[in-house]
Amino acid sequence: MQHAEAAPEIAPLVARFYNDAPLSLRVRLLNGLLRPVGPLALVTLAAGAFGSLLPDTRWRVAVADLGDALRLDGAQVLELARYVEQKAPELLLQLPDVVGQGPLWAASVSGSLLLVALRLRRREG
């Protein structure tokens, strides 16, 4: 009896990729992950690390910039990715499209591992 291999957990791979990515890619990754995150989650995730992204005016999707990418670390992005994995798992599967299909994915071990895990997850789903 042959068992299919389960796809690895995606959120830790997202956090590792974030740590290895250049700043411009970090910003795109953050903005992609922030799409389904509401105001309450922003102020509670990662001990409030994303609370500064809460807009001063009427609610709209949170937007990260280079300063946020410098300030936020992989552990905080791990919590964000785990939240997104529960709330909108289809968004994680779309990360290559959201962030871009450029050569940066394959330029790092973490990017390559994340792409493989996402492909496995798509096959399972």
Across the chain, mean pLDDT equals 85
Whether the Cβ atoms of residue 98 and residue 28 lie closer than 8 Å to each other: yes
Q: Does residue 3 lie within any of the structural domains?
A: no
> What is the pTM (predicted TM-score) of this model?
0.82
Q: Which tens digit of pLDDT belongs to each residue from 4-46? A: 455 568 999 999 999 998 898 899 999 999 999 999 999 999 9
Q: Does residue 99 lie within any of the structural domains?
A: yes
Q: Does residue 1 lie within any of the structural domains?
A: no
Count how many domains the chain has: 1
Share of the chain above pLDDT 90, in %: 49
Q: Does residue 76 lie within any of the structural domains?
A: yes
Q: Does residue 2 lie within any of the structural domains?
A: no
Range of the domain at 45: 10-124
50 Rama sector, left if φ>0, alpha if ψ -120 to 50, beta otherwise: alpha
Q: Does residue 63 lie within any of the structural domains?
A: yes
Q: What is the DSSP letter of 62?
A: -
Query: In angstroms, rounded to a whole number, what is the distance separating the alpha carbons of residues 39 and 67?
Result: 20
